[in-house]
Amino acid sequence: MNAHQTTPTGLPRARSIGIPFGGDPGPSNAITDVSGVQVGYVTLIEGDGPLRAGQGPVRTGVTAILARGRDGWGTGCAAGFHSFNGNGELTASHWLAETGILSSAVLLTNTYAVGTVHRGVVDWINQNRPGQLPWEFPVVGETYDGYLNDVSGAHVRTGDAVTAIDQAHGGPIEEGSVGGGTGMCGYGYKGGSGTASRLVALGTQTCTVGVFVQANFGRRRHLTIAGRPVGQHLLDDNPLEETNWFLPAGAGSIIAVVATDAPLLPGQASALARRATLGIGRTGTTGSHSSGDIFLAFSTANPGQLGSEEGPDSPQPGQLRRLEFLGWDDIDGLFEATVQAVEEAVLNALVANSEMTGRDGHRMPALPRDRVTALLG
Q: Is the dihedral angle over the CA atoms 319, 325, 328, 329 positive or is it negative?
A: positive
d(CA 147, CA 240): 8
Active site includes 236?
A: no
Cα 33 to chain centroid distance, Å, stands at 15
Cα radius of gyration rounded to whole Å, the chain: 20
DSSP letters spanning 328-344:
GGG-HHHHHHHHHHHHH
Q: Which amino acid is at 222?
A: H
> Is residue 304 left, alpha or beta, with left meaning phi > 0 and alpha meaning psi from -120 to 50?
left
CA-nearest of 303, 302, 305, 300 to 316 is 305
Candidates 197, 293, 299, 314; catalytic one:
293
Cα 339 to chain centroid distance, Å, stands at 14
d(CA 120, CA 167): 14
CA-nearest of 275, 250, 244, 238 to 363 is 238
d(CA 318, CA 339): 39
d(CA 201, CA 365): 40
Candidates 177, 253, 270, 299; catalytic one:
253
d(CA 277, CA 287): 9
d(CA 48, CA 42): 19
Candidates 197, 270, 291, 299; catalytic one:
291
Q: How many helical (H) and strand (E) elements, i.e. helices and strands, does the chain have?
A: 7, 14
Active site includes 71?
A: no
Active site includes 261?
A: no
CA-nearest of 125, 94, 89 to 109 is 89
Q: Which residues are catalytic?
A: 253, 291, 293
